């Protein structure tokens, strides 16, 4: 019996590749002419890379698209549904890791870890010991209150922060204060974290007015998607001192990071790896293997995404 052919459009951890190779014939990337497009039965991708209708058209045997993580916004769900292709993801697998990363940004920004480390390494000491903001007693605003938003909120409460959030409608099951708009949320917050899904509905939801409402003592963190932030407005707000600083794990046109952001010393930058830890990658691998096994056994994967 022929082993199903799988195409990985994203770099996968070595352990994941090895686990897949035990059952499937795995092809990585699309730059090689050796990819047997007509035989590809499964694709592994993520929310940023996705899978387009044109790409699906090249794969007549495609049965399942697996997002290695929760994000799937760049997968054409409509075309997949029309062709009967299952789309599955791994919700919850990296929530806690992303939340840890967000809190790390908040601490590092408020306490000045990046700039102070550089200054002390350069021989500085005197003049560097000015008082810095702390999280305790401050207000954290969270854009989005899904699994990751809730994980961030739990951590913030542990630091003695007040939590406000903005979603389309209030969550009656949560004890946090709901704000009716991103501007209102920013105005109420000392720290603003984007933890919402990407896609058209949230495109540039953090814009100039939101950043202005956050104010010159406010910090912004993005562990969502680069598309949720107006990059030019963010650069201008940071340059003018309209906000105090930013921590960014995602970028609008990644892997390109705007030179203007790289030049600012009030910005912390990480390469879209907030959700990556050994534990989260192991969990994502487990879900991936289960989804593939279910599909090829004729079962609907537990994490299949309902057609829209």
Q: Confirm whether 272 is a catalytic residue.
A: yes
Distance of CA 22 to the CA centre of its chain: 29
Instruction: Judge whether 225 and 150 are in contact, CB under 8 Å.
Output: no
Tokens 């704000």 map to which residue?
179
Nearest by Cα to 23 from 296, 287, 280: 296
Cα–Cα dist 275/284, whole Å: 10
Q: Confirm whether 17 is a catalytic residue.
A: no
The residue from 58, 203, 204, 272 that is catalytic is 272
Q: Confirm whether 203 is a catalytic residue.
A: no
Cα–Cα dist 222/232, whole Å: 15
Q: Is 155 helix (H, G, I), strand (E, B) or coil?
A: helix
What does the radius of gyration of the chain's CA atoms come to, in whole angstroms? 21
The residue from 28, 63, 203, 254 that is catalytic is 254
Tokens 């192991």 map to which residue?
282
Instruction: Judge whether 290 and 302 are in contact, CB under 8 Å.
Output: yes
Distance of CA 238 to the CA centre of its chain: 22
The residue from 5, 187, 225, 276 that is catalytic is 225
- Tell me which residues are annotated as active site: 225, 254, 272
């Amino acid at each position: 019996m022929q082993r199903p052919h799988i195409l990985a459009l994203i770099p996968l951890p070595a352990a994941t590749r090895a686990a897949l190779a035990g059952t499937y014939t795995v092809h990585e990337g699309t730059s090689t002419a050796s990819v047997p497009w007509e035989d590809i039965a499964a694709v592994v991708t993520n929310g940023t890379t996705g899978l387009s209708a044109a790409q699906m058209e090249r794969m007549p045997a495609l049965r399942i698209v697996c997002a290695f993580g929760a994000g799937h916004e760049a997968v054409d769900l409509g075309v997949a549904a029309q062709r009967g292709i299952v789309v599955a993801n791994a919700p919850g697998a990296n929530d806690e890791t992303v939340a840890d990363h967000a809190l790390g940004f908040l601490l590092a920004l408020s306490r000045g870890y990046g700039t102070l480390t550089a200054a002390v390494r350069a021989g500085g000491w005197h003049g560097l010991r000015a008082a810095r903001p702390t999280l305790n007693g401050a207000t954290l605003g969270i854009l989005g209150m899904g699994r990751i938003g809730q994980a961030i909120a739990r951590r913030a409460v542990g630091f003695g922060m007040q939590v406000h959030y903005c979603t389309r409608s209030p969550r009656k099951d949560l004890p946090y204060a709901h704000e009716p708009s991103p501007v209102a949320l920013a105005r109420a917050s000392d720290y603003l974290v984007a933890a919402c899904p990407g896609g058209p509905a949230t495109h540039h939801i953090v814009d100039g007015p939101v950043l202005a409402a956050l104010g010159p003592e406010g910090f912004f963190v993005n562990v969502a998607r680069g598309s949720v932030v107006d990059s030019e407005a963010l650069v201008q707000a940071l340059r003018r001192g309209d906000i105090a600083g930013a921590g960014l794990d995602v970028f609008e046109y990644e892997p390109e990071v705007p030179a203007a952001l790289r030049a600012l010393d009030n910005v912390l930058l990480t390469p879209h790896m907030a959700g990556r830890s050994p534990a989260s990658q192991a969990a994502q691998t487990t879900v991936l293997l289960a989804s593939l096994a279910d599909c090829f056994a004729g079962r609907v994967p537990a994490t299949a995404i309902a057609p829209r």
